[in-house]
Amino acid sequence: MKYQLHPSYQYCHALINHIDMHFKQASQILHAERNEIRIVPFEGEDYVVKSFRIPHIVNRFVYRYLRPSKAKRSYQYSLRLGAEICPEPVAYIEQFQYGLLARSYFISRHFKYDFTIRPVLNDATFKNRNEILRQFANFTYHLHQRGILHRDYSPGNILIKQQQHKYLFKIIDVNRMQFKALSLQNRLSNFARFMVDDATMKIMLNRYAHLIHKPQHEILAIAIAYRDQFTHRRALKNKLRGR
């Protein structure tokens, strides 16, 4: 086993050492698909533990010797992003079998959010919708200005907590990040995965265009083109997979 525990969470050593047991005993399952996510209580605090599925044989080798595992990347990128942008990272753990990566875990603090951006995007009657979408454009701009590109910027990965009239945004699923100066293409294609209608794109992109001092109609048209491209590629992929 290999792990890294954040210096502020040294009292969580027992959680790390018995992670399989704590994970198995946790009754609150947040998500159970490819990877499984549970809320694990430990000494009066709630932690979110993401258990990564054992990769196929090639990647078990790759993630052992050539590239950091998803768990390790989630931990390191979260540290780099900071607590203002994502839930605080606590630890990552890698387990090995025959010298290859087996199970791995990423542990973060539980962020008690009110909703993800999914219902805001999909429900035109969502309370305070336009304001949330504009604040979301501000948040995205803030990430982009800091040179942060989330490669899986999709509705389930954006958590929102309401604080009076302000909304607090945090991103999760951060194992695929890029840190660099972003081009206009990088910026606008980052809105593609939301796959929302033109009217919703307009609310977000008008604000974004204003922030980057570019003409609104031009920016919206480019962003819509990226969305369409992504939608077609996604549809084709699903068709090939027979979904």
Ligand X SMILES: Nc1ncnc2c1ncn2[C@@H]1O[C@H](COP(=O)(O)OP(=O)(O)OP(=O)(O)O)[C@@H](O)[C@H]1O
Residue ranges in contact with Mg ion by CB under 5 A: 156-157, 173
Collapsing DSSP states into helix, strand and coil, what is residue 99?
coil
Rounded-to-integer distance, Cα 100 and Cα 65, Å: 9
Restricted to residues 78-117, the positions that interact with ligand X (CB under 6 A) are 87, 108, 110-111, 116
Rounded-to-integer distance, Cα 101 and Cα 94, Å: 7
Q: How far apart are the first and last CA of the chain?
A: 37
Rounded-to-integer distance, Cα 161 and Cα 111, Å: 9
Is 50 an interacting residue with respect to ligand X (CB under 6 A)?
A: yes
Would you give the binding string for ligand X spanning residues 16-35, x where CB under 6 A is met? --------------xx-xxx
Nearer to Mg ion, 187 or 193 (CB): 193
Among 5, 48, 209, 219, binds ligand X (CB under 6 A): 48
Question: Tokens 């939608």 sit at which residue?
Answer: 231
Write down the least CB distance from residue 157 to Mg ion, Å: 4
Collapsing DSSP states into helix, strand and coil, what is residue 101?
strand
Nearer to Mg ion, 94 or 173 (CB): 173
Q: Which positions lie near ligand X, rule CB under 6 A?
A: 30-31, 33-35, 37, 48, 50, 87, 108, 110-111, 116, 156-157, 172-173
